[in-house]
Structure 1
């Protein structure tokens, strides 16, 4: 079955009458921006239209069936989208459902179990405790953890099993494993999260030995502590991560601090982060911006970033863009 046939079949399912105790939902987000950027050390800047600077554009389908006794069956199918060129995936190498593809069981009493391709607990914690969320374009936290060669492994793991506990007075825990399947080893992660009132925090441990592709990756290990406190007039964020590349024997210390200030119909956002490696160039990143909401589903943003690697000229990026959720 090709990709177009599969997508058409899912859309057809959405048009069928839903059973009284089951549902299928289509959803997604499109993010497109225009701007100018220069990478650290580069001699010239590039003007471009980009997809996913603030949130990687995606589309998805999810379903829930009530099995009785408080137990539900679930599924998620989610793919990435490059809206600037009308192509699927974050790049040409992405699989069709690269964001998520899983089935599971969920219970308020026993928690949730999902099997397939799942978003990692490290990625969820990273986006949850910085003011720029899951922005690969502008979040110092996301860039330092996932695109600076500090940690291997994608933001989603294939061949995985993810268990999340019910909430106990604001506390939840999770255990996550991705089977090795002859690709160099398995991935494992453990996490704990607290969220109640204005205070929230998390602690995540992750070890990666495979990346789901055919090319071997370095073995890496990371522990990250995160926290936030919402004072009303300002919400503060902080993160500290200790990462180790076990293959190359390099250690990284990662520090992040940010703030979100409600202003008019939007929020003023700011964050500073740095990476201190045991060998190699240190990195410091500043980002400031304003996110203005036209509605609950649509926002406009303007962002500026300064990104500096030791010994190289600073990189700079400026973008204005729009996100729409459906």
Structure 2
């Protein structure tokens, strides 16, 4: 193939990536037609996001640079090869990167240092029977598009409260933010429905370890402006000298409706550690995302309840504004506030409390560039 031909294919794939909700909006699963049918090639893509952030919680006041308050900074390689007969082979390698110091990669829930921390997988895709994906990938859960802040770790009220589990029990967890050693099958869209199932073998034979540490499934439905989804996951924690092996159930449901470009969403999440003396957390979110021309206003309100644990509940509010300088470049501002009851420990934007029960406020401004 000529260099010109390769360039045209790369440009075509890049345009499909930007046009697809699943890539341009940080959402990893939203039911859309496959935009890569008939296309072959590979492309480098990513996000460079950095800004200034101030956090106040009790006696803790922190002002500093933050990487990824608008969207997680990252870079990756995505490729497609058409094999004929409606079959294609795809790969995705994606690494987180901190613009504050230039470090890349991350650490898994098993304390493994990994470079391609966000995605490291290969997939066989058929127009008729669906997709088989192998490797490190997103867990089975709902589309990140339900959250106006897309679950961004550096600023997402819903993402922060739904992921909190340290107050439920020592071995309580919702698992890793990506699943290693995963095998996942997703059906094609059938009558507006799409189903995915995933399993992740532990890969060790030490006595006492469970045979699998992650099993999950999700079902999504899309009909015009309406999106619905449910998921159910089971995460087995490793037994250690001081911690038991706990079967953690993580489940949820959500809905989103697009009112002529303004998206209204609701999401429900429950963390259920199946172990005596542990607690159950339930999280609810209502979100609004209202893009209007070059302006994008987003808002969410989140409530987290810890059943049976007095005064451990929290509220979180998030307000965001993006000014789009182009299709891929934006200036943004974020305001966040967490209201904690006396024994609650919820925080936003990787913040810390001086003591349980402290409220927290966050202000962030930054620049986001997609490429």
Tell me the TM-score range normalised by the shorter chain.
Answer: 0.7 to 0.9
Equivalent in 199, 202, 215 of residue 177 of structure 1: 199
Q: After the TM superposition, which residues 48-127 of structure 1 pair with which residues of structure 2 at under 5 Å, given as runs?
A: 48-90=64-106, 94-122=113-141, 125=142, 127=144
Give the length in aligned residue pairs: 307
Q: In structure 2, what is the equivalent of residue 7 of structure 1?
A: none
Return 5+ residue gaps in structure 1 as ranges: 1-14
2:176 equivalent to 1:141: no
Query: Deviation of residue 148 (structure 1)?
Result: 4.8
Aligned to 1:193: 220
Is the counterpart of residue 155 in structure 1 residue 177 in structure 2? yes
1:316 to 2:361 alignment: yes
2:186 corresponds to which residue?
164
The answer for the alignment partner of 1:299 in structure 2 is: 330
1:236 & 1:22 partners in 2: Cα distance?
Answer: 36
* Cα gap change, 1:153 to 1:16, in 2 (>3 Å): farther
State the distance in 2 between where 1:201 and 1:163 align.
20
CA contact (8 A) 2:107 2:114 kept: no
> In 2, Cα distance between the equivalents of 1:83 and 1:156?
21
Contact 1:187 1:210 in 2 (8 A): no
Give how far 1:234 is off: 3.2
Query: Structure 1, residues 162-213: CA drift from partner, whole Å, max 9, x if none?
Result: 11110113211100111122354420111011122111111011111148xx
Distance 1:61 1:233 in 2: 30
Task: Give 1:263 shift.
Answer: 3.9
Moved more, 256-265 or 111-120: 256-265
8 Å contact 1:54–1:134 — kept in the other structure? no
**How far 1:67 moved relative to its partner?**
1.0
> What SS does the aligned partner of 1:48 have?
strand
Partner of 1:240: 268
Tell me the SS of whatever aligns to 2:100: coil
* 1:168 partner SS: coil
The CA deviation at 1:273 is 0.5
Name the structure 1 match of 2:49: 31
Asked if structure 2 preserves the Cα contact closer than 8 Å seen for 1:136 and 1:143, the reply is yes
- Normalised to the residue count of structure 1, the TM-score between the two structures is 0.86
- 1:25 to partner: Cα distance: 1.1
2-structure distance, mates of 1:300, 1:270: 17
**Normalised TM-score (structure 2):** 0.76
Instruction: Indicate the SS of the match to 1:141.
Output: helix
Using the TM superposition, give the Cα deviation of residue 236 of structure 1 relative to its aligned residue in structure 2, in angstroms: 0.8
Mean Cα displacement is larger for which, 261-270 or 68-77? 261-270
Q: Aligned equivalents of 1:189 and 1:170: distance in 2?
A: 21
Equivalent-residue separation in structure 2 for 1:307 and 1:218 (angstroms): 29
User: Offset at 1:17?
Assistant: 7.6
* 1:285 CA displacement: 0.4
Following superposition, the deviation at residue 146 of structure 1 comes to: 2.1
SS at 1:292 equivalent: strand
Cα distance in 2 for partners of 1:105, 1:294 equals 37
Deviations 1:267-291 (A, max 9, x none): 2111100111124411110111211
CA distance in 2, matches of 1:230, 1:237: 9
